[in-house]
Amino acid sequence: MAVVSRTLEPDPTGAEQTEPAVAREPGLSHPISAGVVTALVGFTSSFAVVLTGLRAVGASPTEAASGLMALCVTQAIGMLWLSRHYRIPITLAWSTPGAALLAGTGLVVGGWPAAVGAFIVVGLAVTLTGLWPRLGRLIAAIPTPLAQAMLAGVLLPLCLAPVTAFRDSPAAVAPVVLVWLILLRFSRRWAVPAAFAAAAVVIGISIAFGDGSLDTSALAPTLDLTAPHWTWQALVGIAIPLYIVTMASQNIPGTAVMSSFGYRVPWKSAMTVTGIGTVIGAPAGGHAINLAAISAALAAAPSAHPDPKRRWVAAFTAGCSYLVLALCSAALAALVVAAPQGVVEAVAGLALLATLGASLAAAVADEADREAAVLTFLIAASGVDILGIGSAFWALVAGLVFRLVVRGVRPRTRTP
């Protein structure tokens, strides 16, 4: 604890006296502001990806807005309980890689109700992972290069969107890209939120000049419930890849991020809360919630508060902030619908560039698995649809088979 000296009144001899004074630690304003920033960055940097993914698997604009609100509410409640109960800064998020996976998968047999049924299965699988450690070990046994290559292949078409959008609508997309590029130079975490702010200005100008219209009747937040339906194509093409991506790209890295700041995530409770939250939010359109990975550092780092025991306030505040942001979900979804062609897709692509880079780096890091990872990446990026099942599933299957044939089954060594 820092100690400073302050001067007292001089004594009768004229000598100065000093007395140690304890410097005040920052109050709760630091973790509260960190929590607000965590929520704002997490929401604005990827909500366009969520809306894009939900619309791709068959959700109407109203159902996609409902899904966005359900994700905000369920993860907010999860954060409030976990952070308050365990007094550690556990932050939750929606599965951004999972939303990107949905965008690449597209419609499946059974349409939107089948996608909702797949979301429920994902929530049940995540809950089971927390209750049955062997399932978690099975997921961890999937080679990281293949899982990351599958994710990179799914992300590639989305990350190409800014390029094609700029070609088709340069006047509308150029300001978005320019703002994003400038903010990357000065404040990387605010680059995507600033890009969306620029997109909002472009959308507003488009509406003002009569090139688009904003449906004012859709601005009020509403929950649109869908009765789930289950098809084997949706279970294989959506549920399995979504579960794997959520675990490998969010939950497992999320625990590593927290560990780097000295926190041990209560695995069973975290998986149970996020799994049940996913099940509850699925009929309203929420695809999956999970441990935060990238944004977790905003609440768990020393910048949130010098005392690690008080940083849980940041996660708690982030939960409260998400409840407020949930009220904005319908208005933002309506704004996205009114956007000129390619503008929102450009923002989503820019938001996923960093994730694509990290996935590609992890996919080719191990030379022994490089060929299998490249094959997985190419099949996932191809977008092929076989038997009504999307490319993500076939990419992972092909990569695992290739790896098994080339490398064989290695005997497991026992550690003393």
pLDDT at residue 218, as a whole number: 65
Q: For all residues of the chain together, what is the average pLDDT?
A: 84
Predicted confidence band of residue 409 (pLDDT cuts 50, 70, 90): low
Decide if 90 contacts 272 (C-beta within 8 A): no
**Of 175 and 44, more confident:** 175
Predicted confidence band of residue 410 (pLDDT cuts 50, 70, 90): low
The domain spans of the chain are 26-214+221-407
pLDDT at residue 17, as a whole number: 45
Predicted confidence band of residue 119 (pLDDT cuts 50, 70, 90): very high
* Mean pLDDT across 344-369: 86
pLDDT at residue 18, as a whole number: 45
Decide if 322 contacts 316 (C-beta within 8 A): no
pLDDT surpassing 90 at residue 54 = yes
pLDDT at residue 413, as a whole number: 42
What is the separation, in whole angstroms, between the first and last Cα of the chain?
43
Chain-centroid distance of CA 34 in Å reads 18
pLDDT surpassing 70 at residue 288 = yes
pLDDT per residue as tens digits for the range 174-200:
999 999 999 888 888 788 888 888 988
Q: Which has the minimum average pLDDT: 142-151, 195-204, 245-254, 405-414?
A: 405-414
pLDDT at residue 8, as a whole number: 42
Predicted confidence band of residue 216 (pLDDT cuts 50, 70, 90): low
Decide if 221 contacts 327 (C-beta within 8 A): yes
pLDDT at residue 7, as a whole number: 42
387 Rama sector, left if φ>0, alpha if ψ -120 to 50, beta otherwise? left
> Cα torsion for 337, 343, 345, 350, to the nearest 10°?
-140
**Of 338 and 323, more confident:** 323
pTM metric for this prediction: 0.81
pLDDT at residue 408, as a whole number: 67
Q: What percent of the chain has pLDDT over 70?
A: 89
pLDDT surpassing 60 at residue 1 = no
Question: What is the C-alpha separation between 185 and 191, in angstroms, rounded?
Answer: 9
